[in-house]
Each structure stands twice: as structure tokens, then as C-alpha cells.
Structure 1
Amino acid sequence: MTLNKLKEHLLGENLANIAKADPRLATAIYGVEKSGVNFSMGMGTASEAEKLGRTWVGDGARLAKNQDYCPGCLVSADGTRIYRPPMMKDSLYAVTGMQANFVTQDVGGKLIGNAHLNIIK
């Protein structure tokens, strides 16, 4: 197995393990295949969003560089997953008025998916 194939295999295993943690995370990972870039991953509380977000970005996550624009945002160690904590939003996807985002991008920073978790009380 080549190094690139091994990396792809490990990434696939990592994503599968994240998906197993909660059905909403599975939607964040696999929903883009069905729904395009922007899609809903359901609803949850702010504390659930925080737990899911930490699972989403995984060990070794760091604060995003743009904290003025995105306070509390975390980026996975490999840079392919971003968690944006709950914030008030005026968007078609923010049906409750507040949402957290679970973003997927390629290693070059190109957006692949933006899953929206609507926050309920």
C-alpha cells in the first residue's frame, strides 16, 4: 500500500468512527453526497453541539485563526473539519434562529460541506 493510499484508508476509518458517535455526525459526513454543500443535520441543544463539535474536530484540534470573525471555532489537526459553535443566524438553514456548523473542506481549503445543526433550548 502506498503512503497516499494508507492516508486515504486512515481518513476513511477516522470518518467512519466519527459517524458512529452520533447519527447527526453521520449526516454531517455523508449528507453532502445527497444534499450539496449546505444541508441540515438536525437539531440539538447548545451543550450537545459542543460535544458533537469536539468529536467532529477530534484530538489535536486548534482554534481557528480568524477568532474575530468566528469566535470559538475549532479546526481539526489535518485542517479538513471545522466546528463553528452556536451563534444567532439569519439564514434559510437556521430555522430556530441559532445554529452550529460542521464544515468539511479539502486540504487546500475548498469547501466540501457545511452541515447546520439547529439549536433548541
Structure 2
Amino acid sequence: MYAHRDYLARHGPLSLANFRTHHWVGPDQGEQMRRGFASAGLAVTRALFAIRTDHSALAWQAVCAGLGVGVGLRQVAARMPDMVPVLEEVPIDPLPCWLVVHREWRGTPRLRAVADALVAALGNRP
């Protein structure tokens, strides 16, 4: 989970004691994030999320804009100096990241090169 440095400057640090008082960016209809909270012993409802979207790229952009706290790829956040990991004591199971390509494009050399670069940059890291 991450928050922009400016968000934390405005709202203060997060802790397990105060996480419900923060602005969260999360799913509208999707249940995966709420199930993740529950598996960590933190029961939350849809109402926790001040900004709700089921589009993960949009949610990440809202977090990067300092609008709230949310989840993101560790490898991406590590390259963004203003993104700060929060609630690191809460265990988060790895989430799948799918690379989907139309079958007619799958074998093209340029697309294969892009796919290989994405897998090398983002794939199978702890």
C-alpha cells in the first residue's frame, strides 16, 4: 500500500489505529481488496473507500496524485520517489498481473520484445 508524500504531509502518517480516518482509493464493485483487508484481520466495507473505481490504472493515478491511499505494484512504486509505502506490517498476498495480447498479434517480433521487457521488469519478483 502506498501514499504520495504530499498526501502524508497533509493527513499525517497511517497506522493500524487510524487507517480508517484516511482517504482510501479502492474498488467500487471488486471484492479482492476488501478480502485482503479481512485476511489481515481488518474488516472493512465499501464505505472505507473515498474514491472508488474498478480500474486499477485509474486508482493508481489517484494515489499518485495525492488523493488517497491505495495499492500498487512494488516495482512501479519503487521508481517513484514521492510514493511512500504505508502499513507495511499488514500482510498482502501477491496479486496476479496478466499480460494479455490478441492471438493474431502475439507472434509479432515487436510485440514479443515489449512483452519480454515487461515480464523482465515486472515478473516473478518477491
Normalising by structure 2, report the TM-score: 0.30
Greater Rg, structure 1 or structure 2?
A: 2
Query: Under a length normalisation based on structure 1, what TM-score does the superposition of the two structures give?
Result: 0.31
Q: Whose strand proportion is higher, 1 or 2?
A: 1
